[in-house]
Homo-oligomer: A and B are copies of this chain.
Amino acid sequence: MTKPADAEETPPPAADAESQSAPAAAGGGFSNIIQRWRREGIVKRGCVAFRAFGLLFSLLAFIIMATNQHGDGREFDKYEEYRYVLAIAILSALYTGFQTGRHIHEIHTNKEIISRKNASIFDFIGDQIVAYLLLSAASAAVPLTNNMRRGGDNIFTDSSAAAISMEFFAFFSLGLSALISGFKLSNQTYI
Protein backbone atom coordinates (compact mmCIF):
# COMPACT_ATOMS: atom_id res chain seq x y z
CA MET A 1 0.00 0.00 0.00
CA THR A 2 3.04 2.31 0.32
CA LYS A 3 3.80 4.23 -2.84
CA PRO A 4 6.95 3.49 -4.86
CA ALA A 5 9.52 6.26 -4.61
CA ASP A 6 10.05 6.92 -8.31
CA ALA A 7 8.59 10.00 -9.90
CA GLU A 8 6.57 10.09 -13.17
CA GLU A 9 3.59 8.84 -11.23
CA THR A 10 2.27 12.08 -9.79
CA PRO A 11 2.44 14.86 -12.38
CA PRO A 12 1.77 18.33 -10.99
CA PRO A 13 -1.83 19.38 -11.71
CA ALA A 14 -1.96 21.53 -14.82
CA ALA A 15 -4.73 23.76 -13.54
CA ASP A 16 -2.57 24.93 -10.65
CA ALA A 17 0.14 26.77 -12.62
CA GLU A 18 1.43 29.67 -10.53
CA SER A 19 4.42 31.98 -10.69
CA GLN A 20 6.93 29.88 -8.72
CA SER A 21 7.58 26.77 -10.83
CA ALA A 22 7.96 23.55 -8.85
CA PRO A 23 10.89 21.23 -9.58
CA ALA A 24 8.59 18.36 -10.48
CA ALA A 25 11.30 15.84 -11.29
CA ALA A 26 12.73 15.80 -7.76
CA GLY A 27 10.60 12.88 -6.58
CA GLY A 28 7.01 12.32 -5.43
CA GLY A 29 7.58 13.37 -1.82
CA PHE A 30 9.17 16.70 -2.62
CA SER A 31 6.67 17.74 -5.27
CA ASN A 32 3.90 16.78 -2.88
CA ILE A 33 5.34 19.07 -0.26
CA ILE A 34 5.62 21.91 -2.74
CA GLN A 35 2.04 21.37 -3.75
CA ARG A 36 1.01 21.39 -0.14
CA TRP A 37 2.82 24.65 0.58
CA ARG A 38 1.21 26.24 -2.40
CA ARG A 39 -2.19 25.03 -1.40
CA GLU A 40 -1.64 26.20 2.16
CA GLY A 41 -0.60 29.62 0.92
CA ILE A 42 -3.81 29.89 -1.03
CA VAL A 43 -5.81 28.57 1.88
CA LYS A 44 -4.18 31.01 4.30
CA ARG A 45 -4.82 34.00 2.05
CA GLY A 46 -8.41 32.89 1.47
CA CYS A 47 -9.00 32.63 5.19
CA VAL A 48 -7.62 36.12 5.83
CA ALA A 49 -9.72 37.59 3.04
CA PHE A 50 -12.96 36.03 4.30
CA ARG A 51 -12.28 37.17 7.86
CA ALA A 52 -11.51 40.68 6.64
CA PHE A 53 -14.86 40.71 4.80
CA GLY A 54 -16.49 39.42 7.96
CA LEU A 55 -14.91 42.29 9.89
CA LEU A 56 -16.09 44.84 7.33
CA PHE A 57 -19.69 43.61 7.34
CA SER A 58 -19.81 43.25 11.13
CA LEU A 59 -18.56 46.80 11.57
CA LEU A 60 -21.15 48.06 9.09
CA ALA A 61 -23.91 46.17 10.90
CA PHE A 62 -22.69 47.58 14.21
CA ILE A 63 -22.50 51.19 13.00
CA ILE A 64 -25.83 51.11 11.17
CA MET A 65 -27.66 49.53 14.09
CA ALA A 66 -26.00 51.65 16.79
CA THR A 67 -26.92 54.89 15.01
CA ASN A 68 -30.48 53.71 14.44
CA GLN A 69 -32.09 56.12 16.93
CA HIS A 70 -34.55 58.59 15.50
CA GLY A 71 -36.64 59.47 18.55
CA ASP A 72 -40.41 59.11 18.81
CA GLY A 73 -40.28 55.39 19.64
CA ARG A 74 -38.11 54.64 16.64
CA GLU A 75 -35.12 53.50 18.67
CA PHE A 76 -33.37 50.21 18.21
CA ASP A 77 -32.91 49.63 21.95
CA LYS A 78 -36.63 49.29 22.54
CA TYR A 79 -36.60 45.95 20.68
CA GLU A 80 -34.74 42.96 22.01
CA GLU A 81 -34.25 41.56 18.49
CA TYR A 82 -32.30 44.65 17.47
CA ARG A 83 -30.30 44.61 20.68
CA TYR A 84 -29.39 40.98 19.84
CA VAL A 85 -28.29 42.07 16.34
CA LEU A 86 -26.13 44.82 17.85
CA ALA A 87 -24.59 42.53 20.47
CA ILE A 88 -23.65 39.87 17.94
CA ALA A 89 -22.31 42.51 15.52
CA ILE A 90 -19.99 43.78 18.28
CA LEU A 91 -18.90 40.25 19.20
CA SER A 92 -18.27 39.36 15.58
CA ALA A 93 -16.34 42.59 14.92
CA LEU A 94 -14.12 41.94 17.94
CA TYR A 95 -13.52 38.32 16.94
CA THR A 96 -12.83 38.97 13.26
CA GLY A 97 -10.73 42.03 14.14
CA PHE A 98 -8.55 39.98 16.44
CA GLN A 99 -8.27 37.13 13.93
CA THR A 100 -7.47 39.37 10.97
CA GLY A 101 -4.85 41.21 13.00
CA ARG A 102 -3.30 37.99 14.21
CA HIS A 103 -3.12 36.43 10.74
CA ILE A 104 -1.68 39.52 9.09
CA HIS A 105 0.86 39.79 11.92
CA GLU A 106 1.80 36.14 11.45
CA ILE A 107 2.19 36.47 7.70
CA HIS A 108 4.36 39.59 8.03
CA THR A 109 6.62 38.56 10.89
CA ASN A 110 6.46 34.77 10.42
CA LYS A 111 6.05 34.44 14.19
CA GLU A 112 3.11 32.62 15.73
CA ILE A 113 1.17 34.14 18.62
CA ILE A 114 -0.68 30.91 19.35
CA SER A 115 0.93 27.54 18.59
CA ARG A 116 -0.10 26.07 15.25
CA LYS A 117 -2.20 23.17 16.51
CA ASN A 118 -4.15 25.25 19.02
CA ALA A 119 -4.58 28.03 16.48
CA SER A 120 -6.31 25.70 14.00
CA ILE A 121 -8.77 24.44 16.57
CA PHE A 122 -9.40 27.97 17.86
CA ASP A 123 -9.91 29.26 14.31
CA PHE A 124 -12.38 26.60 13.35
CA ILE A 125 -14.45 26.64 16.55
CA GLY A 126 -14.45 30.44 16.65
CA ASP A 127 -15.48 30.85 13.01
CA GLN A 128 -18.23 28.27 13.23
CA ILE A 129 -19.71 29.62 16.47
CA VAL A 130 -19.62 33.24 15.32
CA ALA A 131 -21.21 32.20 12.00
CA TYR A 132 -24.04 30.46 13.85
CA LEU A 133 -24.55 33.46 16.13
CA LEU A 134 -24.67 35.88 13.20
CA LEU A 135 -27.23 33.76 11.38
CA SER A 136 -29.32 33.42 14.52
CA ALA A 137 -29.34 37.17 15.25
CA ALA A 138 -30.15 38.11 11.66
CA SER A 139 -32.96 35.53 11.46
CA ALA A 140 -34.45 36.65 14.76
CA ALA A 141 -34.67 40.28 13.62
CA VAL A 142 -36.23 39.63 10.21
CA PRO A 143 -39.87 39.01 11.26
CA LEU A 144 -40.03 42.16 13.43
CA THR A 145 -38.69 44.29 10.59
CA ASN A 146 -41.11 42.69 8.13
CA ASN A 147 -44.04 43.46 10.41
CA MET A 148 -42.96 47.07 10.82
CA ARG A 149 -42.56 47.56 7.10
CA ARG A 150 -46.16 46.50 6.54
CA GLY A 151 -47.15 49.87 8.04
CA GLY A 152 -44.89 51.67 5.57
CA ASP A 153 -41.16 52.22 5.20
CA ASN A 154 -39.27 54.86 7.08
CA ILE A 155 -35.65 55.55 7.97
CA PHE A 156 -35.89 53.34 11.04
CA THR A 157 -37.07 50.21 9.21
CA ASP A 158 -34.67 50.85 6.34
CA SER A 159 -31.68 51.12 8.68
CA SER A 160 -32.75 47.97 10.49
CA ALA A 161 -33.06 46.09 7.21
CA ALA A 162 -29.61 47.32 6.17
CA ALA A 163 -28.03 46.21 9.44
CA ILE A 164 -29.67 42.78 9.13
CA SER A 165 -28.42 42.41 5.56
CA MET A 166 -24.88 43.29 6.65
CA GLU A 167 -25.17 40.66 9.35
CA PHE A 168 -26.21 38.09 6.75
CA PHE A 169 -23.20 39.01 4.60
CA ALA A 170 -20.94 38.67 7.65
CA PHE A 171 -22.49 35.25 8.22
CA PHE A 172 -21.68 34.17 4.65
CA SER A 173 -18.06 35.33 5.03
CA LEU A 174 -17.57 33.58 8.34
CA GLY A 175 -19.35 30.44 7.15
CA LEU A 176 -16.88 30.18 4.27
CA SER A 177 -14.01 30.95 6.62
CA ALA A 178 -15.20 28.16 8.94
CA LEU A 179 -15.28 25.82 5.94
CA ILE A 180 -11.66 26.65 5.07
CA SER A 181 -10.42 26.44 8.65
CA GLY A 182 -12.18 23.10 9.14
CA PHE A 183 -10.39 21.90 6.03
CA LYS A 184 -7.06 23.15 7.42
CA LEU A 185 -7.73 21.55 10.80
CA SER A 186 -8.44 18.08 9.51
CA ASN A 187 -5.62 18.37 6.99
CA GLN A 188 -3.24 19.09 9.85
CA THR A 189 -4.56 16.31 12.07
CA TYR A 190 -4.12 13.71 9.39
CA ILE A 191 -0.84 14.47 7.67
List A residues at the B interface (Cβ < 8 Å): 1-2, 5, 29-30, 33, 80-81, 132, 135-137, 139-140, 142-144, 146, 175, 179, 182-183, 186-187, 190-191
> Contact check: which of B143, B175, B187 meets A81 at CB < 8 Å?
B143
Copies in the complex: 2
The CA-CA distance from A186 to B188 in the complex, in Å, is 10
Which of chain B's residues has its CB closest to A140's CB? B139
The CA-CA distance from A80 to B142 in the complex, in Å, is 11
The CA-CA distance from A191 to B187 in the complex, in Å, is 9
B5 near A2: Cβ-Cβ < 8 Å: yes
> Contact check: which of B29, B144, B175, B186 meets A183 at CB < 8 Å?
B186
Query: A29 with B1: in contact, given A135-B135, A143-B140, A187-B186 (CB under 8 Å)?
Result: yes
16 more contacts with CB within 8 A, not counting A136-B136, A139-B140, A143-B144, are A1-B29, A1-B30, A1-B33, A80-B143, A80-B146, A132-B135, A132-B175, A135-B136, A136-B139, A140-B140, A182-B182, A186-B186, A186-B187, A186-B190, A190-B191, A191-B191
